[in-house]
Amino acid sequence: MNDFKLKLILSLLGGVVFAFLFILLAFALPVKKEEAIIIQPKSQLDAISKAVQERLER
């Protein structure tokens, strides 16, 4: 087989394999970050701190 044809076929095959791999990864990995478990404040200071942080985020 011609060396050029062999390189062309191997390049195309490698491209298809890598494309398939990235398509599989796109479906396997989550797109949206799920919400973390919300920890309830244990003290009044924690509640105030959380309220201030939420207010600053807006």
Q: Could you report the per-residue pLDDT of 13-42, keeping only the tens digit for each?
A: 999 999 999 998 888 876 666 666 777 767
Residue 4: per-residue pLDDT: 92
When divided into structural domains, the chain yields a total of 1
Q: What is the pLDDT of residue 8?
A: 94
Residue 12 has pLDDT above 70, yes or no: yes
Containing structural domain, residue 3 = 1-30
Q: What is the pLDDT of residue 13?
A: 96
pTM to 2 decimal places: 0.45
**Cα 16 from Cα 9, distance rounded (Å):** 11
Residue 58 forms part of a structural domain = no
Query: Is 35 part of a structural domain of the chain?
Result: no
Q: Residues of 26-43 as b/e, b for ≥16 C-beta within 10 angstroms?
A: eeeeeeeeeeeeeeeeee
